[in-house]
Amino acid sequence: MAPAEDTFGSSAANVPQTHPPLDEIPFAHKSERVAAEILDFYHVRWQYEPTTFPLEWDRNGNVIVSFSPDFYLVDFDTYIELTTMSQKLVTKKNRKVRRLKELYPDVNIRVFYQKDFRSLLARFGISSTVVSHAEGGGVVPVREGDEPGEDASPAKNNDVAKGSE
């Protein structure tokens, strides 16, 4: 049986994976799944939330605040955090990223905001919509015929236009 194709038409068999099959990864948001497919399409080796960084401790030394960036790009030694929710809700995440940089100055991290992710999807010719906070928030790709808020998961979407390289 041939491997299933993802949103971008690349076969998992052609990607030097450092991660389990996409269907086995519990992505926190649909946008993370799409980002993973883009990384696979370009044969970028990545891991999903491989590291949790302690950021704050109580007086007994117990970790009380930590941060797990969404992706680690193995060959670039860089962490990626997607923040596709409403921009007014990103303050807490920005604070965590600033704290991570203070405590771990040698860690490379890049934050992709909603506008960045929408631009990336547009580059691939993929329409997107902003989902309300009540429906999980963020930016999700839209298939032809979808209504905003419907499940536009790329796992169920092989008819999205393929991106250009």
1-5, 122-126, 128-132: least confident range:
1-5
pLDDT at 48 over 60: yes
Q: What is the pLDDT of residue 63?
A: 97
Q: SS3 for 119? A: helix
The secondary structure of residue 101, as a DSSP letter, is: H
129-158 average pLDDT score: 51
Q: What is the pLDDT of residue 119?
A: 82
pLDDT at 41 over 50: yes
Domain ranges of the chain: 12-156
Going by pLDDT thresholds of 50, 70 and 90, the confidence category of residue 129 is low
pLDDT at 106 over 60: yes
Residues, the chain: 165
Q: How far is CA 67 from the centre of its chain?
A: 15
Q: How far is CA 145 from the centre of its chain?
A: 24
The whole model's pTM is what? 0.69
40-58 average pLDDT score: 95
pLDDT at 65 over 60: yes
pLDDT at 100 over 50: yes
142-155 average pLDDT score: 46
